[in-house]
Chain A
Amino acid sequence: MHLIRCLFSLLLLSGLSVANALADTDSVNPYVESVKHKAAQLKLSEDDIWQRLLHYRQDYFSETGVSSYVDDKRFFYADDGHYNAESELQKTIDALFIKDDLGNEHAQCRFVYRYQWLSQKLELDPKKLPVTNCVDYIEWREQVNAHSVSLIFPATALNSPSSMFGHTLLRFDPKDIEGGSDWLSYALNFGANINNDDDSVSFAFRGLAGGYPGVYNMMRYFEKIKEYNRMENRDIWEYKLNYTPEEVDLILTHVWELKDINFDYYFFDENCAFRLLELLELVRPEVNLTARFKLDAIPTNTVRAVVEEGLVESTHFRPSELAELHARIDSLPKSIQRLGKELSNDIDVMQQPEFKALDQAQQGEVVQIAYSYLRYVQLQIPRDDEMAKRSYQLLLALNKLSSEKVVVERPAAPETGHKTITAGVSAGERNDDLFQQVNYRVTYHDLLDNEKGYLRGAQIILFNTEVRHYNDDGLKFNRFDLVDITSLSKRNMFLKPLSWKVQVGYERVYSRNDEVGVLQLNGGAGHSYEVTKNIEMFGLLTGRIEHNKRFNSILEPAIGAEAGMLYYSPIGTQKLDISGAQFLNDDYRMRAEFAQNINLGVDHALRLSLAQEWHNDDDFFDISLGYRYYF
């Protein structure tokens, strides 16, 4: 942090010197004045490119009707540059002609795109412009050395709510990438510049409400591969874009202008994905990207937009290290898996007859699994000297045996899955009362939805609303889920992840002879197992806190359990589920449900549900059939 502060004060100082230099240009330079006049006549400040370069957007509260997304004085030369395009243009021209030796801080070096664009539009005479030496910019451009650009999408991971909607970044590759290594390419990331000392609650709050500055940063791509593929067990999708080297060059010219510049950062709209779309649009004004995301920019949707606009040339899937480990485990018979597990704990297993009986290729696989497993374990624990030694010995053995590169089956790409908003109509019967229902979900996927392009066992729902009309009882606000997340990650001989769920919202429940609306928070934790390739079973211990006006206490706690089975059938996902909760006040609820999603297409589905409920004083049967549309 100390260094950041130092940098900041340096920047302040350089900002001051620019301001001083601007003051010095009061002695009127006739050429500069003529250029400024020409710019005004041509109405350059109204040009789309200029507006985009300054990141202007419509803003009804601004006197000019626009304001910039950039919240950083260092990005503007004019005091009112934040919202006044003309005044920023005029001051920028002044700055380009400053004769003082400002080195890398000269406007020509600092705002290269603006400089190039104005030079071209105003046909600036190079002989009349001060000579600058942009060492930093030139060095940076040589180092980045880009020829093509890819949109990178680290997907969602099970058990990681922080990865909820995925993330996007850009990767800039040199010309000879095919024969070289994309590990050394540069990745451009837009993210919140966070403080390591903050706790996670204030992170979440400030991420949503604002308060973190968003900045671009660039690093070697392998740092990102390590971060996502290894540390967070996330698959990475790479979309090579059909931008020409000239367009890539222009994007980078503007990226440099954004170096160390602060934006406000918000999770939902002004996030990683949105900022990258702005860059892609800057050099291809004809594509329609940012306009699609007025309220939220969920990374999968931005990827979908980029694909729909025809910007993608090819797609590459980079599985996580965990996915590779799973694939290796699944490729071996149980007996050999067990040997690998034992070997990870005890290096002497290699001397056992059972190991020696294997052929060399199988021995290599066993050693590789043991090593990969230890690598996975070491992520989560402090350094262990003994384990380090064992890992090394396994590598020595691997060196003599070798192993093949594992092939992870490529799943359907995220953008090929169903869209993220859901609306539906359904009809059904609850005991003898007929009902019709409409539902609307802002985002994004439940366990039963078409699995194509999504992660099995992961459910993330925000803002799910159901309104029901009973023929006998009129209109009812049936439920509202603020958040509803389930993460079912399968366990095997090696990996023992926890499955869990958490849900908070409003729902109508039957309680003491009547249906009442309650506010509730519930959650659970347990285990999931894959029975066959398409069947998963899970069991959770659950807890619930309910605010129910029919109960005596304001908040009534309950404990319970849930068990279920998911079958990914050819026509759609099936779920069989039984759950029960026992309240502290002796009330209980049990529910058994069979539900089937019938995939009619990627964005259309039928949903059938049959349920039976048991309460202290009554039973219910509930059946419904509905149509769901994803858009």
Chain B
Amino acid sequence: MKRVLLAASLMTASLSASAVAPGGDSCGWGNLLFEGQSGLPSHVIASITNGTSGNATFGMTSGTNGCSANGTLTYGGKSMINMSSIMGEFSEDVARGHGDALTTVAVALNIKAEDRAVFDSVLHENFAVIFPSENVTAEDAMASVLKVMKADARLSKYAA
């Protein structure tokens, strides 16, 4: 049985000089989602050479977007994805109640196919709880997701 943990990540240091977190070292949702991409020029340049800049990885880490990796989803201690890197897409999907980011989080939380619809609708109904303001951090949003899941009969087993 895989357990879901919220753990501080191994990778707290930013490897990318371009992505300076505007809100300090704990990048909130607002800071990421509603951030202008200060790194855009270097990003565009990277694509000229289909390049990778310094933060190339080989699949062993989750990447941090220049923020401390609060809200990393992990399986048995292995980092899975860094929530803050898909918070924009995730929040929109939760607001609507459907979408790829929502499915991704469901998969990361190991939610079985038959419970996905419940997961989608429970999160959808609790949008304002999970995202209480534009400045919520990825860590707090993820904690709220688990809290909301625990309160639901079908989903509580995944949030144990």
Contacts and interface: CB of A to CB of B under 8 A. Distances in A.
Interface string A126-163: 00000000001001100110000000000000001011
Interface string A158-192: 00101100010000000000011101101001111
B74 to A, nearest CB: 12
Contacts of A181: 100, 103-104, 106-107
B92 A384 contact: no
Given A184-B81, A191-B49, A196 B17 contact: yes
Interface residues of B, number: 64
Contacts of B56: 193, 215, 217
A450 B34 CA distance: 40
B127 A396 contact: yes
Contacts of B15: 3
A1 B86 CA distance: 25
Contact of A212 (B51, B128, B131): B51
Contacts, number: 190
Given A203-B45, A392-B133, A184 B108 contact: yes
Given A3-B13, A189-B50, A218-B59, 5 more contacts: A162-B47, A212-B49, A220-B62, A388-B134, A399-B128
Contacts of B98: 405
B47 A232 contact: yes
A204 interface: yes
Nearest to A388: B34
A378 B49 contact: no
Nearest to A372: B92
A387 B35 CA distance: 10
A271 B51 CA distance: 10
A204 B51 contact: no
B10 interface: no
A162 B45 contact: yes
Interface stretch (A14-22, A235-243, A259-267, A353-361): A259-267
B134 to A, nearest CB: 4
A29 interface: no
B52 A193 contact: yes
Contacts of A183: 86, 100-101, 103-104
A380 B40 CA distance: 8
14 contacts: A3-B15, A144-B59, A162-B48, A181-B103, A190-B50, A204-B48, A207-B48, A223-B63, A223-B85, A378-B36, A383-B31, A384-B34, A395-B92, A395-B131
Contacts of B97: 402
Interface string B123-143: 010011001011000000000
Interface in A192-244: 192-198, 200, 203-204, 206-207, 212, 215-220, 222-223, 226-227, 231-232
Contacts of B13: 3
B16 to A, nearest CB: 7
A371 B96 CA distance: 12
Interface string B32-72: 01111110101111111111111011111011000000000
